[in-house]
Amino acid sequence: MASERAKEGVARQEKQWLLVFSSAAELIYTKAVEDTKTSTLMPIIRKKTMPDSNVYTDSYRSYNAFDVNKFYHFRINHSTEFAKPNGNHINRIENFWNQAKRILRKYNGIPKNHFSLFLKECEFKFNCGTPKQQLAILKKWCYKSSNLL
């Protein structure tokens, strides 16, 4: 079947790796990254996370570096639990990703060089409330930028 698809000109696209995390203020931050190596992720996370912050992750191996950095690291092992008994969870990130996939599916394929813009659209919609609130924010941004010209 794969060879039939190749003959039809349908090529499998490479996956785009994403870093998605939530701040203490419960805002989602997203970044398209080239790979999921610790050396790629840690500079981004250090820049966006205050020292001594609580960091909750799944059990992915690249997050092991949190244990030796200036963060309090708590893991959620999704194969055994979705939340710790003390209430720690990463449900907000899971919720964001479910909503983002629903939005991105509408586009039926996004060029890799534009993907980060579409991802930021999802981030904005998730972080900025209702469509009415989002419109107010956009109007405010447009007004500010028109005054700068």
What is the pTM assigned to this prediction? 0.71
Within 8-126, strands assigned E span 17-22, 28-33, 53-57, 71-75
pLDDT in tens, 56-80: 777 777 777 776 667 777 777 766 6
As a whole number of Å, the CA-based R_g of the chain is: 19
Which pair of structure tokens corresponds to residue 123? 């981030």
Give the pLDDT confidence score for residue 72 in this predicted structure: 79
pLDDT in tens, 79-115: 666 555 555 667 788 888 899 989 988 888 888 888 8
Query: Burial, 82: exposed, middle or buried (Cβ in 10 Å; 0-12, 13-18, 19+)?
Result: exposed
Q: Which of the 8 DSSP states describes residue 83?
A: B
> Any idea which fold 14-148 has?
Nucleotidyltransferase; domain 5 (3.30.420)
Residue 128 has pLDDT above 90, yes or no: yes
pLDDT in tens, 8-29: 434 344 667 777 777 666 788 8
Residue 7 has pLDDT above 70, yes or no: no
pLDDT in tens, 30-59: 888 888 888 888 888 888 888 887 777 777
